[in-house]
Amino acid sequence: MTDPKCARVLLAAARRDVGALRVMRRAGEVSDEVFGFHVQQAAEKSFKARLALLGETYPLTHNLEALLDLLEDRGAATEPYRRLVDYTPYAVEFRYEGVRAGAESIDRDEALNLVESLLEEVLRQLAGVEET
């Protein structure tokens, strides 16, 4: 059974992460580790909200690939969001250890656009569930 209440809570939290990303997008003093963490968090919460809307209990994990695989197993389209898997290490590993020296910087506009698109899609799905 779908759980729109759980989805609403998760999506409200994802919105806060996206709001932080909007502020940080152009702030040079904000590290990629901090920016990437909020990208990962917005994606994680959105994926978990989608699982809740599908009536699934989501696992307590930060692994975006595992969440996408669960969504795909339930018939959800995941291809547009597979690039977000690269942000999984920002949840814990990079948050504490930092990104390795010489790593390519995050394309902040691309990352923000991708999580905004994901959030908007899941919000539309929530609206569809609540209309029925």
Average pLDDT of the segment spanning 71-79: 95
CATH H superfamily, domain 4-131: Nucleotidyltransferases  domain 2 (1.20.120.330)
Question: Burial level of 31, CB count in 10 A (0-12/13-18/19+)?
Answer: middle
Q: What is the pTM of this model?
A: 0.95
pLDDT in tens, 15-48: 999 999 999 998 879 999 999 999 999 999 999 9
